[in-house]
Each structure stands twice: as structure tokens, then as C-alpha cells.
């Protein structure tokens, strides 16, 4: 129940303390006022908020961004250890330097906008800014739910526009040029990427037991993530995860010539059923960055391919080639492990000759129209 406490001051004046009880029954102050009536109004306002479930303890927001994230938000996330390691890395690099010491109630929409402006000015791409802002939004959404703050300061952030540039897809001829420039030790790895369309982590996690030579199939069951040892949940640089991406293994067919090459690779190197197919000379997983700088980029330069190609672009080429030759979207979606068919659709008409196929189809339609009945 709201009430007022009368207080006499040394100068002879009287002040009135507005009091009420919070949802847990503790006595709270609604401030000191010059008149009893003003104090009663203030106490009743806070009491009504308590009764309506709209009351918020303003002192809860007096916690630093870093303390809240580390002690409340991050421990509450039910995520993979590798994902948690990525979150910690993002926080240390992008958020703690800017927001870390700020009290939660001090972080306004304008301050978040300042962070976006600074990130863009430092060269962070619009796509990356949007990704990190999503994470920031999640932090403040939880803070609103915990009643630390009244509103999410990320709610109306103006984000830089992502300009989608048309990318060039590697053609079969360009691929042949490229694979010929790959050192023998890594050639089968590259051939496996184009044959299967697997992601890098899935490629280096591949083991003989994942391959059914009789049925001519491969099952993707694992992926390997490379993380900083500082943030690794195991202390190691490489973390293996059962099942990739969408948490479901996928099985698809492969070419017999590729199977023969893999069988020879296993025999030559004496690879056991549960060992990795593709490793360094010391038997450890291949670092993506090391492969890119020491193997991939020199091969691109030597191949004569006249545009920048990433290893991941072999996955794009795999899907584009399938669709260009008439494979249906649903089967390509399942083969690639896409969660949504819209992701697969972006590979339609990706090859240079795709538009020419459209023109040829249009010409055939016209010829049929002109033929007499």
C-alpha cells in the first residue's frame, strides 16, 4: 500500500517522502516532494505500475554492458561451444571496446547508431555490420525482458545498404585450368569440392567410413571448425562437430571415377577407416587460411583464370552446373544441405551461357509458332 512519510528539515520546512512496495514487498521510495498531495500522487503512480506488472527496478540498469553480457546474456545462450567461441570473439573485437564500460541504461539508440557509423568508417562491410547488429539486438532484447531497460536501443538503427554485386561463376573450362595448377597432394581435395559441393569444414572432416563404395554414396556427418585457441572450448585449434549446419546428416551420390581416385588415395597413404582423408603431412586438419595463402592463391595465379575465385566458390559452381544441366531445385537443395529452397534458387542462371540458353529457347518457341498447322 502506498503511503507518505512526513519529514521536518533543519530550516523548519516540511518535506514528504512517497513510499510504496515493489513486487517482492520491499519498501521503495518514489522521491521526496514539497507537498503531501504531490507525494501521494507519486507513490500511487508507482503502486499502480506494480499492480499492472509494468514496474521496473531502475537500479537494475546500473550494470555495465560487459558485466551483463558475461554474467547474464552469454550464460543463458544454449549454443554450440564453437558458436559461443565466435560470440566471445565478436564481443571482444567489436562490442566491448565501444560499449563495455557503459551502463546498460546509458546505451541509447543514438549511441548504437554511433557504433554503426564508426564500424563503417573503419571498413567493416555492410553485411558484417548487419550480422553484428543482429547479435547486439539480441543482447538488448534480453535486457528489456529482464527489465534492465525500457526499450531496445537497436530497434530503429539505420544500417548501411548491402549492394548485391553479380558474381562470376567458374565454368567447367576454367575449373580444368585451375585444378591442373593445384599441387598433386591437394588435387583430390579440390576435386572432391567440385564433385560433392561440400563446405570446407565438411571436406576436411571427411573420413573413409563416410563413403559407401558399393552404393556410390557419401554421407556428410561431421564438420570441423577452426577457432582461436584463446576461445576454444577444448583448448585446441580445431573443433569437430557431429552433423553439419542444419543438424541433420545428408547422403548423396558420387561419380565412380571419383570413388576410384579416393580408393587409391586411401591405399597409397594407408588411411584408416576413422581417419581423415585430407590432412597436413603431420596428420592434423588443414588450416583454411594456410591452404588459401600457400596453395589456392598461387594456383589461381598460375592457372590463368582472370578473376578472384575462392575455394568456397567451387561449392557455388557445383550447384550452378547441376541446375544449368537440368537438375531440379529440390534435389540440388538436398544435395547442398540448404535449409531453404530460396538459397538454392540463387544459383539458377549463374553461368555465362545461361542467358544464351534462354535466347535459344525463345528462338525455338518462335520457330514453332511460325510453322503452319
- Quick check: is 368 in a domain? no
pLDDT, residue 366, reads 62
Residue 151 CB neighbour total at 10 angstroms: 12
Cα–chain-centroid distance for residue 189?
25
Q: Which residues, 6 or more positions from 265, have their beta carbon under 8 angstroms from its beta carbon? A: 188, 271, 277
pLDDT, residue 354, reads 61
**Shared-domain flag, residues 131 and 248:** no
- Quick check: is 118 in a domain? yes
Give the chain's residues under pLDDT 70.
Answer: 228-236, 243-247, 349-362, 365-366, 368-373
Q: How far is CA 86 from CA 17, 80, 165, 200, in A?
A: 50, 10, 27, 17
**Shared-domain flag, residues 253 and 137:** no
Q: At CA 120, angle to CA 118 and CA 121, rounded to 5?
A: 60
The string of pLDDT tens digits covering residues 15-42 is: 999 999 988 888 988 889 999 999 999 9
The string of pLDDT tens digits covering residues 207-219 is: 999 999 999 999 9
Given strand 27-33, what is the order of strands in its sheet? 3-8, 14-21, 27-33
- Quick check: is 371 in a domain? no
**Shared-domain flag, residues 70 and 123:** yes
- What total number of domains does the chain contain? 3
The string of pLDDT tens digits covering residues 47-101 is: 998 888 777 777 777 899 999 999 999 999 888 777 888 889 899 999 999 999 9
> Rounded to whole angstroms, how far apart are CA atoms 112 and 89?
19
The count of C-alpha atoms lying within 13 angstroms of the C-alpha of 67, restricted to the half-sphere facing its C-beta, is: 10
Average pLDDT over all residues of the chain: 88
The gap between the terminal CA atoms of the chain, to the nearest Å, is 92
Q: Which residues, 6 or more positions from 285, have their beta carbon under 8 angstroms from its beta carbon? A: 204, 224, 226, 238, 276, 279
pLDDT, residue 25, reads 87
Domain that holds residue 43: 3-55
Whether residue 181 contacts residue 302, with contact meaning beta carbons closer than 8 Å, is answered with yes
**Shared-domain flag, residues 181 and 301:** yes
pLDDT, residue 304, reads 92
- Quick check: is 214 in a domain? yes
Whether residue 214 contacts residue 207, with contact meaning beta carbons closer than 8 Å, is answered with no
> Rounded to whole angstroms, how far apart are CA atoms 105 and 63?
8
Q: At CA 238, angle to CA 232 and CA 242, rounded to 5?
A: 100
pLDDT, residue 119, reads 95
Q: Looking at the DSSP assignment, which residues form a beta bridge with residue 239?
A: 225
**Shared-domain flag, residues 210 and 86:** no
What's the predicted TM-score (pTM) here?
0.68
pLDDT, residue 150, reads 84
CATH of the domain at 226: 1.10.443.10
Torsion of CA 262, 263, 264, 269, to 10 degrees: 90
Amino acid at each position: 500500500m502506498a503511503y507518505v512519510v512526513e519529514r521536518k528539515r533543519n530550516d523548519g520546512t516540511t518535506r514528504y517522502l512517497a513510499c510504496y512496495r515493489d513486487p517482492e514487498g520491499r519498501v521503495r521510495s518514489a522521491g521526496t516532494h514539497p507537498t503531501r498531495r504531490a507525494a501521494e500522487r507519486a507513490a500511487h503512480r508507482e503502486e499502480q505500475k506494480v499492480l499492472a506488472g509494468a514496474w521496473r527496478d531502475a537500479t537494475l540498469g546500473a550494470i555495465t554492458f560487459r558485466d551483463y553480457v558475461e554474467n547474464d546474456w552469454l550464460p543463458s545462450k544454449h549454443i554450440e561451444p564453437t558458436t559461443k567461441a565466435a560470440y566471445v570473439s565478436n564481443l571482444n573485437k567489436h562490442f566491448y571496446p565501444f560499449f563495455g564500460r557503459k551502463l546498460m541504461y546509458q546505451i541509447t539508440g543514438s549511441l548504437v547508431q554511433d557504433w554503426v557509423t564508426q564500424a563503417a568508417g573503419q571498413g567493416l562491410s555492410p553485411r558484417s555490420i548487419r550480422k553484428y547488429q543482429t547479435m547486439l539486438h539480441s543482447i538488448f532484447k534480453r535486457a528489456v525482458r529482464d527489465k534492465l531497460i525500457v526499450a531496445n536501443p537497436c530497434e530503429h538503427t539505420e544500417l548501411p545498404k548491402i549492394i548485391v554485386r553479380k558474381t562470376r561463376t567458374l565454368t567447367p573450362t576454367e575449373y580444368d585450368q585451375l585444378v591442373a595448377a593445384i599441387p598433386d597432394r591437394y588435387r583430390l581435395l579440390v576435386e572432391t569440392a567440385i564433385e560433392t559441393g561440400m563446405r570446407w569444414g565438411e571436406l576436411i572432416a571427411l573420413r573413409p567410413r563416410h563413403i559407401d563404395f558399393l552404393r556410390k554414396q557419401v554421407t556428410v556427418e561431421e564438420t570441423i571448425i577452426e577457432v582461436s585457441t584463446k576461445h576454444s572450448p577444448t583448448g585446441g585449434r580445431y573443433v569437430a562437430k557431429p552433423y553439419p549446419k542444419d543438424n541433420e546428416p545428408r547422403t548423396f551420390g558420387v561419380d565412380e571415377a571419383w570413388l576410384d581416385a579416393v580408393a587409391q588415395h586411401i591405399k597409397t597413404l594407408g588411411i584408416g577407416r576413422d581417419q581423415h582423408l585430407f590432412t597436413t603431412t603431420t596428420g592434423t586438419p588443414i588450416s583454411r587460411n594456410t591452404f588459401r595463402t600457400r596453395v589456392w592463391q598461387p594456383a589461381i595465379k598460375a592457372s590463368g583464370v582472370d578473376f578472384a575465385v575462392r575455394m568456397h566458390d567451387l561449392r557455388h559452381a557445383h550447384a550452378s552446373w547441376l541446375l544449368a544441366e537440368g537438375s531440379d531445385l529440390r534435389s540440388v537443395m538436398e544435395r547442398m544441405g540448404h535449409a531453404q529452397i530460396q538459397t538454392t534458387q540463387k544459383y539458377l542462371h549463374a553461368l555465362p551461357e545461361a542467358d544464351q540458353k534462354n535466347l535459344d529457347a525463345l528462338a525455338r518457341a518462335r520457330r514453332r509458332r511460325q510453322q503452319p498447322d
